[in-house]
Amino acid sequence: MAGIFVFSEDPALTRQLLTPGLELKRALAQPLVALTRSSAEAGALAGLGADRVVLLRGAGAPEALAPAVAALASAASVVLVGGTLRGKHLAAHVAATLGAGLSTDARTLRVAEGRLETTRILYGGLAVGEESLALPAVATVPPRTFPAPAPAGAAVPVETLDVAPDARVEVLSTQPAAGEGVDIGAATRLVAVGRGFNARADLDLAVDLAGALQAELACTRGIAEDEHWLPVERYIGISGQTVKPELYVAAGLSGQVQHMVGCREAKVIVAINKDERAPIFEAADFGIVGDLYTVLPLLTAALKD
Amino acid sequence: MPNILVCYKWVLDEQDIKVRPEDLGLDTSRAKGKISDFDRNAIEAASLLVEAQGGDVEALSFGTQALKLSVKDVLSRGPGRLTWIGDPAAETADAFVVAQVLAAAIRRAGPYDLILCGEGSSDMFFQQTPVRLAALLGLPCVTFVQKMTWADGVLTATRKLPDGTEEVRVAGPAVVSVLGEMNKPRIPSLKQVLGASKKPSRELPLASLGLAPGDLEPRAVRRTPKGFLMNRRNIVYKESDPAENVARLVASLKAEGL
Ligand SMILES: Cc1cc2nc3c(=O)[nH]c(=O)nc-3n(C[C@H](O)[C@H](O)[C@H](O)COP(=O)(O)OP(=O)(O)OC[C@H]3O[C@@H](n4cnc5c(N)ncnc54)[C@H](O)[C@@H]3O)c2cc1C
């Protein structure tokens, strides 16, 4: 059956996908089909403008449902998948099965001349590129790119389908991250740290500055993923968090594009780096060339005065 | 003793790409090539595995003739041999085409116990090639791997999830994509660099892979990208007296109402 199919294992993201889905439905005059794994969510989706809601019943990891989703959407014009790690896996499998193009992390989606046109980020954030995809086409959409649609019309009935997951990959155990549940995205001020810090204990300098500024602590990927000095939910960038604070103080971080793409909408960016040629200075409103071990304590003291 | 294939992409170093302020075009004239960042982690992972328990690592890449520049670099990082396909079609290839080409080359040269790829290339970051390869080759796939071990033909891997990790097990052959945090890619020693020139590398013509014209037709067509320009004030305090710099910064922040 032709149609626009949306899927995410994350209920909030499935709802967000309905917004571009409804646009594509209008443009292509085809039904909108929402696939979900959550029975609680299926009812909610039914009242949000989808023409069909299919509850996929079957054990296994979400990406293991890829063959089943591909079979279900075998005649789809467009398949939209929530751009989580698992979603990206599933989407690539579906695209390969359909022999379709796939736009990863599409920020905009529209139909023109019978093709799906998307925009996405390239070169780690240095550029924005447009892609034009033949139908059938698949796209993944990052979380929070679109708001969920408002309730519309009568709720459609929910269909239930038993699906067999790809059982070749056996899940032995799952460990939740030892996160603190902090929402960096909500902070109005951030002090971000990078590899200019020599040791974990030295982050106290940034903690003190954050205290004086009433800011939250953020970091680069290396600090979170390689050093494990701060939890992963605090790292900013293309593969981390996107933030929009009033003030972003970057200390001892170089300002590579993959990091800056996550904070470039900050109102004011301040850089502290000992290397005058560090790219962070081009991305900053104000900067100090100097050793963070000298500058941060002075700055903290000056702000407390 | 696994027989490992590791795929890599030769990309422009994004640090050397400049955005032209006039038209937001990308100036790549000074950009050097590099092995895509996460592919270096994949190569390192493969090399560490066979250095510890024996086996073979072969590298595979599809790109333009510029790939020739990568041969020594790749072979000095551990793989025992290299197969590469250099063709202008790589210029406009999307992930669909790349996977068709790599899968065709793998079908000819394989089988392999493990096929390793990076999480995504540092230029396009499509994050599709490993999964597409697995689908085309009919193999299971484990993505976003942080840690892995191989024993008796079985891969045990720790995958990253948005809110934690997951341990999985899969019998080989399988396709795996590795994350940047998996390891620190080596800086090849002089001995490794010299050894690289003795290792075999062969170029496979694209035409020899027996692909249909449709297999080489991108499903996603890219338009010329537009650069993103930072529009910031770039006021930098760099007096020799740190206290002076700090005082000026604090004054500036006050003036901003911060
Ligand atoms: C595909 C891809 C995705 C990526 N995604 C992300 C992402 O989401 N987020 C992210 O952050 N990175 C990401 N990266 C990595 C990114 O490219 C950079 O490598 C990283 O952001 C650099 O981290 P850093 O600034 O901490 O370290 P470095 O680049 O090593 O910078 C350290 C800086 O500290 C300065 N310094 C050193 N000592 C001092 C001192 N005593 N006082 C003052 N300054 C000092 C140095 O001059 C230097 O500029 C990604 C990379 C790739 C390829």
Contact B228/A264, CB-based, under 8 Å?
yes
| Rounded distance between C-alpha atoms, residue B34 and residue B66, angstroms | 11
Percent of chain A with pLDDT over 90: 88
pLDDT at A1: 62
- B47 or A239: which carries more pLDDT confidence? B47
Give the start-to-end residue ranges of the domains of chain B.
Answer: 3-216
For the CA of B120, the closest atom of ligand 1 is: 1
pLDDT at B91: 95
Using an 8 Å CB-CB cutoff, list chain A residues near B168: 169-172
3-class secondary structure for chain A? CCCEEEECCCHHHHHHHHHHHHHHHHHHCCCEEEEECCHHHHHHHHCCCCCEEEEEECCCCHHHHHHHHHHHCCCCCEEEEECCHHHHHHHHHHHHHHCCEEECCCCEEEEECCEEEEEEEEHHHCEEEEEEEECCEEEEECCCCCCCCCCCCCCCCEEEEECCCCCCCEEEEEEECCCCCCCHHHCCEEEEECCCCCCHHHHHHHHHHHHHHCCEEEECHHHHHHCCCCCHHHEECCCCECCCCCEEEEECCCCCHHHHCCCCCCCEEEEEECCCCCHHHCCCCEEEECCHHHHHHHHHHHHHC
Is the pLDDT reported for residue A305 higher than 90? no
pLDDT tens digits, one per residue of A119-138: 999 999 999 999 999 999 99
| Rounded distance between C-alpha atoms, residue A168 and residue B141, angstroms | 9
The residue behind tokens 């979170």 is: A224
The answer to whether the peptide bond before residue B111 is cis (omega within 30 degrees of 0) is yes
Is the pLDDT reported for residue A285 higher than 70? yes
Contact A93, A108 (CB under 8 A): no
Contacts of A26 (CB under 8 A, 6+ apart): none
- Compute the Cα dihedral for A229, A232, A233, A234 and give only its sign: positive
Using alpha carbons, list the distances in angstroms from residue B30 to A187, B16, B102, B210. 38, 6, 29, 36
Angle at A131 between CA A130 and CA A133, to 5 degrees: 155
Closest to A85 (Cβ–Cβ): which among B132, B144, B170? B144
Establish if A113 touches chain B: CB-CB under 8 angstroms.
no
Contact B95/A285, CB-based, under 8 Å?
no
Give the model's confidence band at A178: pLDDT under 50 very low, under 70 low, under 90 confident, else very high.
confident
**Exposed / middle / buried, residue A57 (Cβ in 10 Å: 0-12, 13-18, 19+):** exposed
From 3.30.70.3420, 3.40.50.620, 3.40.50.720, 3.40.50.410, which CATH number describes the B3-216 domain? 3.40.50.620
pLDDT tens digits, one per residue of B172-230: 999 999 999 999 999 999 999 999 999 999 999 999 999 999 999 999 999 999 999 88
Percent of chain A with pLDDT over 70: 99
3-state secondary structure of B225: coil
Shortest distance between the Cα of A272 and any Cα of chain B, in A, equals: 9
Contact B74, B200 (CB under 8 A): no
SS3 content of chain B, % helix, strand, coil (to 5): 35, 30, 35
For the CA of B119, the closest atom of ligand 1 is: 1
Tokens of B144: 């976003």
| A234 known ligand binder | no
Contact A288, B238 (CB under 8 A): yes
| Rounded distance between C-alpha atoms, residue A83 and residue B233, angstroms | 34
**Cα atoms found within 13 Å of the Cα of residue A104, Cβ hemisphere only:** 26
Residue nearest to atom 8 of ligand 1 (CA): A237
pLDDT tens digits, one per residue of B135-185: 999 999 999 999 999 999 999 999 999 888 999 999 999 999 999 999 999
Query: What was the ipTM of the complex prediction?
Result: 0.94
For the CA of B37, the closest atom of ligand 1 is: 53
| Rounded distance between C-alpha atoms, residue B100 and residue A7, angstroms | 26
Backbone φ and ψ for A231, nearest 5 degrees, come out as -65, 150
pLDDT at A182: 80
Using alpha carbons only, how large is chain A's radius of gyration in Å? 22
Contact A298/B228, CB-based, under 8 Å?
no
From 3.40.50.1220, 3.40.1190.20, 3.40.190.10, 3.30.70.980, which CATH number describes the A184-304 domain? 3.40.50.1220
Give CATH 3.40.50.1220 domain extents, chain A. 184-304
Tokens of A1: 């059956």
Is the pLDDT reported for residue B110 higher than 90? no
Using alpha carbons, list the distances in angstroms from residue A203 to A285, A290, B83. 23, 17, 46
pLDDT tens digits, one per residue of A290-304: 999 999 999 999 998
**Cα atoms found within 13 Å of the Cα of residue A62, Cβ hemisphere only:** 24
Closest to A126 (Cβ–Cβ): which among B17, B94, B96? B17
Check if A104 has its Cβ closer than 6 Å to any atom of ligand 1.
no
Check if B125 has its Cβ closer than 6 Å to any atom of ligand 1.
yes
| A193 known ligand binder | no
Contacts of B57 (CB under 8 A, 6+ apart): B4, B5, B6, B43, B46, B47, B49, B50, B78, B79, B80
Mean pLDDT of B102-128: 96
Is the pLDDT reported for residue A179 higher than 80? no
What is the maximum alpha-carbon separation in chain B? 69
Contact A289/B237, CB-based, under 8 Å?
yes
| Rounded distance between C-alpha atoms, residue B188 and residue A10, angstroms | 42
Runs of H (alpha helix) within B122-170: 129-137
Give CATH 3.40.50.620 domain extents, chain A. 4-162
Using an 8 Å CB-CB cutoff, list chain B residues near A294: 242
Give the model's confidence band at A181: pLDDT under 50 very low, under 70 low, under 90 confident, else very high.
confident
* Cα–Cα nearest to A31, from A8, A59, A6: A6
Give the model's confidence band at A152: pLDDT under 50 very low, under 70 low, under 90 confident, else very high.
confident
Is the domain spanning A4-162 CATH 3.40.50.620? The answer is: yes
* Entry pTM: 0.92
Mean pLDDT of A195-214: 98
**Exposed / middle / buried, residue B132 (Cβ in 10 Å: 0-12, 13-18, 19+):** buried
Using alpha carbons, list the distances in angstroms from residue B83 to A140, A152, A191, B175, B234. 32, 55, 46, 18, 47
Is the pLDDT reported for residue A65 higher than 90? yes
pLDDT at A272: 98
Give the model's confidence band at A154: pLDDT under 50 very low, under 70 low, under 90 confident, else very high.
confident
Using the mean position of ligand 1's atoms as its centre, give its distance from the Cα of residue A118 in Å: 29
pLDDT tens digits, one per residue of B19-37: 999 999 999 999 999 999 9
* Nearest residue in A to B137, CA atom: A96
Residue nearest to atom 37 of ligand 1 (CA): A196
| Rounded distance between C-alpha atoms, residue B169 and residue B147, angstroms | 12
How many contacts, defined by CB atoms under 8 Å, are there between A and B?
245
Closest to B26 (Cβ–Cβ): which among A97, A127, A131? A127
User: In whole numbers, what is the pLDDT of chain A averaged over residues?
Assistant: 95
Is the pLDDT reported for residue A279 higher than 80? yes
**Residue B118 CB neighbour total at 10 angstroms:** 28
| Rounded distance between C-alpha atoms, residue A130 and residue A138, angstroms | 15
3-class secondary structure for B181-220? HHCCCCCCCHHHHHHHCCCCEEECCHHHHCCCHHHHCCCE
